[in-house]
Chain A
Amino acid sequence: MTGFVDINNVTHAYGGDGGVVAVDKLSLSIAQGEFAAVVGPSGCGKSTLMKLVTGLQIPRAGSITVGGSTVRGPLKIAGMAFQAPNLLPWRRTLENILLALELVQPHRSRLRSEREAYVAKVETLLSQVGLKGLGAKFPWELSGGMQQRASLCRALIHEPQLLMLDEPFGALDSFTREELWCVIRDLHAARPVTIILVTHDLREAAFLADRIFCMSVRPGRIIAERRVTFPRPRNLDVIYTAEFTRIVHDLRQQIATARQAA
């Protein structure tokens, strides 16, 4: 396999021998610039998959390569966003986003001398996600949706080649969620970034992704793979087409079968 992210026959378990097997003989390959979604019932090892790809966990068996090199520790070319925005309440929004640059090389050593350029870059990104001029606000002065947008900015500011999203919209209301789908769609269209989205929202997966991987319950395996071929840029109206409903319905059935089998 020669994708940007290659997962070869990976098995991972927590808690020593005889511990819980989270994923079992998992294989998948994602091309550069592709938008992949991983869906599955809760407890299928989706979050484990995230940790394995970003090198926060090292697999018990099998191998993972990202960008041609084997993952042996935390990746430097990845950005992450989770269900909770995890912004630091003592930093303003702008400073929260700069946090990523304070850590990642080469920005880390340049930040002090080229601060103005970096701040301008953050401002640009803020306006791209609809937070124009809100950099001086503290996170707790922003709504949940705005905090999540800021969290996306923090994940993207160091221009990662890989963006990992773990249920990033799970805690939002459905209108805000749809707004943020469009934000992600536009961010993906504007830059050459590979995105892996972990979600249990099938409509979200079908609207955003080029390819959807269905996982079974623990131990997690890929049980189905769907290509979504709607042309881009996709409009929210696509959700109401018969073809979209067919894809979502099909995915739902795959997962229902997987749950029954468990």
Chain B
Amino acid sequence: MSSNAQRKAIAAAPYVFTIAFFALWEAACRYFKVPPFFLPAPSVIGQAFIDYWWQLMFHSFHTLWMTMVGFGIAVLFGILLGILLGASRIANAGTQPLLVGFNAIPKVAVVPILILWFGVGWIPPVLTAFLISFFPIVVNVATGLSTIEPELEDVMKALGARKWDIMVKIGIPRSLPYLFAALKVAITLAYVGSVIAESNASRYGIGNLITRASADFNVPLVFAALIALAILGVIIFAATVELERRTTGWAHRSQR
């Protein structure tokens, strides 16, 4: 295959694979006559999309909003804590067991506590999204900062650089690729967090919609909600990748 044709094939591949996946799903449902309350076919889910369009849009945007707020706090907090841990080896060693232990706690178990403290509303989803997504950001930023080449630090120090100069001019730009690797993991995690909390502790959001739809045995709507979530997830992930490409293209030069 010529390199041009191959490039076109690679560009088309995501669409082809996605369409093939749904076509296969549709065919399997029809062939095996799967009842819609067990596994609805894409066409049935599509009908549910049309029937519940406004509900789905409204709740999706609510979930998106909760996720972005929680994720935003996680990015801010994660970067600050990451810088602290990357700059201070004592802080890094000292907080390690706490951070790892905290990360090991399933966030589903934390939601009831959040409801106890803050009641039903927007705070539990935002906080859950934050709690579940800040850890990879902290770890990656700290790693990026603590792995500066010692010779480079010597060059900087011999030019009279202070710790702050090294941080701003080397550490932060250098840890950006690490940060983006973390953001791609964190953004999807944040989604999981807000939906978990919404299904237990909110009157809005896709999580809540799924809880209610499954109580009504409205399986096509449950699936429509799940697919709406998936679409939002893909869009946000793609936005993160695009931002990464624009800011840290230097780190991905071999893929051009």
Contact = CB atoms under 8 A, between A and B. Distances in A.
B251 A102 contact: no
Q: At the interface, is chain A mostly helix, strand, loop or mixed? A: loop
Interface in B159-189: 159-161, 165, 169-170, 173-174, 176
Interface in A102-159: 102-105, 138, 140, 154-155, 158
A82 interface: yes
A103 B161 contact: yes
A217 to B, nearest CB: 23
B242 to A, nearest CB: 18
Contacts of B157: 56, 74
A84 interface: yes
Nearest to B249: A90
Contacts of B151: 82, 84, 86
A100 B159 contact: yes
Contact of A105 (B160, B169, B250): B160
A51 interface: yes
| Interface magnitude class on chain A | 20 to 34
B158 A140 contact: no
Contacts of B216: none
A158 B170 CA distance: 19
Contact of A82 (B155, B161, B248): B155
A237 B227 CA distance: 75
Contacts of B154: 51, 54, 56, 80, 82
Interface string A57-80: 000000000000000001110111
A86 B149 contact: yes
Nearest to B156: A103
A74 B149 contact: no
A165 to B, nearest CB: 12
Interface string B126-158: 000000000000000000000001011011111
A170 interface: no
A88 interface: yes
Contacts of A79: 158-159
A74 B158 contact: yes
A75 B156 CA distance: 11
Contact of B159 (A51, A88, A103, A138): A103
A80 B158 contact: yes
Contact of A103 (B149, B160, B248, B251): B160
A43 interface: no
Interface of A: 51, 54-56, 74-76, 78-80, 82, 84, 86, 88-90, 99-100, 102-105, 138, 140, 154-155, 158, 164
25 contacts: A51-B154, A54-B154, A54-B158, A56-B157, A74-B160, A75-B158, A76-B159, A79-B158, A80-B158, A82-B151, A82-B154, A84-B151, A86-B152, A88-B174, A90-B173, A90-B174, A90-B250, A99-B159, A102-B169, A104-B159, A138-B250, A138-B253, A140-B253, A154-B155, A164-B158
**Closest 8 pairs (CB-CB, A-B):** A103-B159, A86-B152, A89-B250, A90-B250, A82-B151, A80-B158, A74-B157, A103-B161
Interface of B: 149, 151-152, 154-161, 165, 169-170, 173-174, 176, 248, 250-251, 253
